Homo-oligomer: A and B are copies of this chain.
């Protein structure tokens, strides 16, 4: 951390700031310039640089290091690969996760599972507990939904991913789900993160719609600091002023996170756009930008979906998309 004192700050103010930093546990490296005195402070952590900024005589406080450690690329330069059985997320292959937004019925899950498995999808998605803005919206089938997901996935040799909403659901989820998804609204539910940190199950952490990349990596840090290093980051769209799409899928977050962190990064163009016809171009864009995987909603009868049918691909659209992705992946030295 660097503390820049105001121009010509008097000696007594400088001394007081140095004393304060020492009290906080910092070693101080002072350099006195022609106009500004600059204090380098190392060896401790503070919660909030604003506290120092308000000290008398201080002009600016600059954090030098990033606030996350275990999630940073520096911590593990070679890149993390999350392995579950024979699926590797973060390797050469772009991993596909697909399925309905919400589990609705045995028939729906079965039909969709058959469709996506035939295209080589490795991981089946499907929500059983749904965070809905309105208390009057369909909230999911619960454990019954998880069971249907598991059975259908098993039948076609796929893994499962589903969203967990609170810590008390952990024992249930462990029975049915291979990757625990933390939804965008829960990205900063720190109590949930602390509890998931104690498991040895991979977590798929969705970036919040108003979260910066740094905040997202700090949430990953909660998981890793607690002991769970199998974290997959998912870009799923951020809030912007554009209203035509539901969110704005931040494609640039993919190469940015891959530079800042060693964790695998996937993209969810279904939630990121909210419109079926925009899913294929954004899925192609995500792979072209270097995503390690995609999370895509596919529904055998989207017009009758109970939730988010508008953003679900029809099986035939998904098949066509897969063909395009197989053409694009080699341009970035990946395969589908």
Interface positions of A (Cβ within 8 A of B) = 2, 4, 20, 27, 29, 31, 33-36, 38, 40, 42, 45, 47-48, 50-51, 53-55, 59-60, 62, 64, 67-68, 131-138, 165-168, 185-186, 188-192, 194, 208-215, 218, 221-222, 225-226, 238-246, 248-256, 259-260, 272-278, 281-282, 284-290, 302-303, 305-311, 324, 327-328, 330-332
Contacts and interface: CB of A to CB of B under 8 A. Distances in A.
Interface centre among A212, A260, A276 (most CB of B within 10 A): A212
Contacts of A27: 34
Contacts of A254: 281
A285 B276 contact: no
Contacts of A208: 210
B277 A288 contact: no
B35 A31 contact: no
A1 B282 CA distance: 31
A149 B155 CA distance: 56
19 contacts: A4-B64, A20-B303, A29-B33, A29-B34, A31-B40, A54-B303, A54-B310, A68-B134, A165-B191, A166-B166, A166-B191, A210-B241, A213-B244, A240-B248, A242-B250, A251-B251, A251-B282, A284-B332, A285-B285
A205 to B, nearest CB: 14
B307 A47 contact: yes
A3 to B, nearest CB: 11
A313 B256 CA distance: 17
Contacts of A288: 281, 284-285, 287-288, 328
Nearest to A282: B252
B245 A272 contact: no
Contacts of A248: 238, 240, 248, 250, 252
A240 B250 contact: yes
B273 A282 contact: no
A245 to B, nearest CB: 5
Contacts of A47: 132, 134, 137-138, 306-307
A257 B195 CA distance: 36
Nearest to A60: B64
Contacts of A239: 210, 240-241
A196 to B, nearest CB: 13
Nearest to A274: B50
Interface centre among A20, A214, A289, A306 (most CB of B within 10 A): A289
A221 to B, nearest CB: 6
A227 to B, nearest CB: 11
Contacts of A311: 50
Given A244-B256, A282-B251, A35 B42 contact: yes
